[in-house]
Amino acid sequence: MTHRQVKRGGNLKCAWFLCAIPLLFIYGCTVGPDFVRPMAPSLDHYNHGQDPSETVAVKGQSQRFEQGVGPIANWWQLFNSKPLDAAVAEGFANNPSLEAAQASLRQSNDTLQAGYGIFYPQVSAGFSPERQLYSPARIGSSAPGGIFNLFTLSASVSYSLDLFGGEHRAIESFQSQVELQRSTVLGTYLALSGNIVNTAIAMAAYRDEIKYTEQLIALQKEQVLITEKQSHAGTVSFEQVLNLRSQLATLETTLPPLRQRLSQSEHLLATLAGHAPSEWMAPDVSISELSLPEKLPLSLPSELVLQRPDILVAEAQLHSASANIGVARAAQFPSFTLNGSYGQNATSMNQLFGSNARFWSLGADITAPLFDGGTLSSRKQAAVDAYQQSLALYRQTVLAAFAQVADSVRALEHDAETMQAESQAVETLTESLHLAEINYRAGTVNYLQVITADIQYHQAKLGYLQAQAQRLQDTTALFIALGGGWNKSYSP
């Protein structure tokens, strides 16, 4: 065999080796479990027995639950309030928490893109000019040393073969983090819209409560004044005057806390809208102008787990934990890295690109764990334990979501019953006040009786207002419990 034949045979072996590299990569196995989304529950209702189909009618209006229908994204527009819509839009445009969630999503996307770099060859280049004093004694020579320049121009390439899928599982974990952050953004939108709507309803209710309370105080002051005159005339006892004064003082003590809660709701709404309270005026939302949505969505439990942001966050965490098991398992297998380098070095710049100045190398690194004191095995078991924890937390999140929907449905059912009773009380006391006014004009009752009937009427109106606000807030709670529809209609 000639020297030329030997050289050609060596090149042939090298070629076969290079061709085998992609085959190793293609047919390498990916260890670790493939993630499977937890099975959706087979339930078709949230409450024991059955969910109600509609609430009782109040003033001819009831709320109907549409089984199997999901909420729309802009659910707050069902209240038909332009000031409320403007407040939500302001919050979406300026809220810092929303901006932070969006930045976290961008960060996770960038981290994912950075992780993909592991699947590409890593190429680097360098240039190194040096001046050295060489001592031949280092190699056992007695020749005199010398000073010389050395210029080195080189490039190197390395490529890690992910034969057991550890890097693929790491990327899978990064991808799940992106999904987690995307669901977090959706949850932030949902929570922000719900907080703005709830705060605006509370603010409107406090304003009306203050108005009715001030009217009640004025009526009771008039009642006290008339009773005092009657006491001076000897027609009633002074004890009755004291009793009415005590009732008036008790009612007056309720006014400052109402004003404080109104101020707090205005300040909170400004903060949610992304402004300081001193630079933003809360919108003029009125309870009477808010429409009560008559058709309410009620997604199936199997649909809820696919659209509620907190459940999607828990699922993404579970996915990440599953991928981390694969990372830990792959670490127990050998790792393979191909590397090569090529360069030129010379003692002067004009000789740097000469044929005698070149050097190159081609090789592979194989590293296999032999003994680590159980570290890798324990890490794998820790990853499995973390997955079991994430699975339990996922199930707990789903159960809590189902309970929240069930609570909201029952709350609306009971709110309607409360409003029905409060409405009947208002109607009865309205008729009583009307009769008292007629009798007063006819001279059969005194004016004090008219004031008493008027006080009772205003107290009933206060109760009805509070029940009305609670019903609007519980309607909001149902939309929030169902996930708000963001996952179907919005992708940040």
pLDDT of residue 90: 94
- Cα–Cα distance measured from residue 171 to residue 323, given in angstroms and rounded to the nearest whole number: 9
**Beta carbons within 10 angstroms of residue 370's beta carbon:** 4
Res 3 pLDDT > 70: no
pLDDT of residue 204: 95
Burial 102-141 (b: 16+ CB within 10 A, else e): bebbeebbeebeebeeeeeeeeeeeeeeeeeeeeeeeeee
202-226 mean pLDDT: 93
What CATH number should be reported for the domain holding residue 381?
1.20.1600.10
60-64, 196-200, 326-330, 345-349: least confidently modelled range: 345-349
Residue 302 belongs to domain spanning = 20-120+163-333+373-489
Q: Determine what percent of the chain is predicted with pLDDT higher than 70.
A: 93
Q: What is the pLDDT of residues 260-309, one digit of tens each?
A: 999 999 999 999 999 999 999 988 899 989 999 999 999 999 999 999 99
DSSP per-residue string spanning 169-192: HHHHHHHHHHHHHHHHHHHHHHHH
Between 191 and 353, residue with greater pLDDT: 191
Q: How many domains does the chain have?
A: 1
Whether 419 is covered by a domain: the verdict is: yes
Res 77 pLDDT > 50: yes
Between 193 and 16, residue with greater pLDDT: 193
pLDDT band at residue 199 using 50, 70 and 90 as cut-offs? very high
Whether 347 is covered by a domain: the verdict is: no
Whether 470 is covered by a domain: the verdict is: yes
Whether 473 is covered by a domain: the verdict is: yes
pLDDT of residue 208: 94
pLDDT of residue 296: 96
Q: Which amino acid is at 16?
A: W
pLDDT of residue 225: 92
Whether 134 is covered by a domain: the verdict is: no
Between 391 and 151, residue with greater pLDDT: 391
pLDDT band at residue 136 using 50, 70 and 90 as cut-offs? confident
Nearest alpha-carbon partner for 287 in 43, 74, 104, 470:
470
**What pTM was estimated for this model as a whole?**
0.86
Q: What is the pLDDT of residues 473-488, one digit of tens each?
A: 999 999 999 998 876 5
- Cα–Cα distance measured from residue 289 to residue 284, given in angstroms and rounded to the nearest whole number: 10
Strand order in the sheet with 358-367: 122-134, 146-161, 335-346, 358-367
pLDDT of residue 32: 80
Q: What is the SS3 assignment for 99? A: helix
User: Average pLDDT, whole number, for the chain?
Assistant: 89
Whether 290 is covered by a domain: the verdict is: yes
> Which residue reads 């940040």 in tokens?
492
Whether 157 is covered by a domain: the verdict is: no
pLDDT of residue 469: 96
pLDDT of residue 487: 62
Q: What is the pLDDT of residues 220-232, one digit of tens each?
A: 999 899 889 888 9
Whether 460 is covered by a domain: the verdict is: yes
